Amino acid sequence: MPTARLSGLNALVIGGSSGIGQTLAEGFQREGARVAIAARTTDKVSRVTERLRESDSSALGYTVDVTERQAIDRLATDVSRDMGTLDILVNCQGTTVIKPATEVSEAEFDQVLDTNLKSVYFTSTVLGGLMLDRGQGAIINIASLAAHRGWPNACAYSISKHGILGLTRTLAAEWAEQGVRVNSISPGFFLTELNRDRMPAERKQAALTRTPYNRFGEVDELVGAALFLASEESGFVTGTDISVDGGYLAGGI
Ligand SMILES: NC(=O)c1ccc[n+]([C@@H]2O[C@H](COP(=O)([O-])OP(=O)(O)OC[C@H]3O[C@@H](n4cnc5c(N)ncnc54)[C@H](OP(=O)(O)O)[C@@H]3O)[C@@H](O)[C@H]2O)c1
């Protein structure tokens, strides 16, 4: 029987209480990792942690708002105490504001940038510090098609996701010799709490029209790319982005 691909590794999925993050946490667990999730809403964290514990009683859940700088320090202390070491960090936290750029308030802009970009900088540097101490680890940042294209009516979101690519490349280059790999995944369109009710019908139709597969992705279809980037299979891969998008970025008109 083949060995599980993440056997013996500890993984933390921030934003693991729903949608893509929950699915990645479950996928990592199936491949043998001990998994922890972190997000803001206690009920959601508890529900998903209980579900993970049905397969592995050592699964952990943390209620954290990663836009609070000191909360990230506390998270690192808790993870270090509870797991001992950290091998895999997934930054899957995210939010958006959908409205014309001229109508976005300063508070809305800050909320999107703080959640999607600033928090990723500090979770990576603080929790990544646990990896740098040991000279090994893999960080996976969840970017977006909006990191590669201008995204009308989601300007702050698009700025934040462009920033994720810059952050990923820079930390990858800075930490390569120290054994910590940093990569990103750009999902195409997956219907989750983030967009299911926020995306107007005509936008959903436009997404399908521009996606060569002509369908939304299933969140399980993101697990393979994440497992690759989390495991030694990608031992010489750092600073790159894998798009899992049904061909969106490859397409023309
Ligand atoms: N769905 C798509 O089509 C799609 C496409 C491209 C990229 N993405 C990206 O994929 C990631 C996950 O999105 P999703 O679609 O799975 O949406 P989702 O179901 O809404 O998940 C977002 C997760 O982030 C957590 N979160 C939000 N703000 C947080 C904060 N300040 N501190 C800690 N946790 C926080 C949420 O929990 P709480 O709200 O309880 O904190 C939740 O667990 C995001 O980065 C998103 O931009 C999604």
Mean pLDDT of 30-52: 98
Q: What does the domain layout of the chain look like in residue ranges?
A: 10-244
129-141 pLDDT tens trace: 999 999 999 999 9
How sure is the predictor about 73, in pLDDT bands with cuts at 50, 70 and 90?
very high
Mutate to test the pocket of ligand 1, among 18, 37, 112, 165 (most ligand atoms within 8 A of CB): 18
What is the Å distance from ligand 1's center to 115 Cα?
9
Q: What share of the chain is helix, strand, coil (3-state, %, to 5)?
A: 50, 15, 35
- List strand residue ranges (DSSP E) for the chain, in order: 10-14, 34-39, 60-63, 88-91, 137-142, 180-187, 241-244
pLDDT at 84: 97
Mean pLDDT of 234-238: 98
pLDDT at 129: 96
Helix (H, G, I), strand (E, B) or coil at 240: coil
pLDDT over 90, % of the chain: 94
pLDDT at 1: 61
Which CATH number is 10-244 given? 3.40.50.720
76-121 pLDDT tens trace: 999 999 999 999 999 999 999 999 999 999 999 999 999 999 999 9
pLDDT at 252: 79
Q: Whose CA is nearest to atom 7 of ligand 1?
A: 144
Please indicate whether residue 121 is annotated as part of the active site: no
Mean pLDDT of 41-48: 98
Q: Whose CA is nearest to atom 26 of ligand 1?
A: 93
Mean pLDDT of 149-168: 97
CA 209 to each of CA 88, 148, 183, 215, 251: distance values in angstroms, whole numbers, following the listed order: 35, 18, 29, 9, 11
Q: Taking the model in full, what pTM does it have? A: 0.98
Burial of 106 (0-12, 13-18, 19+ CB in 10 A): exposed
Contact partners, residue 121, CB within 8 Å, separation at least 6: 167
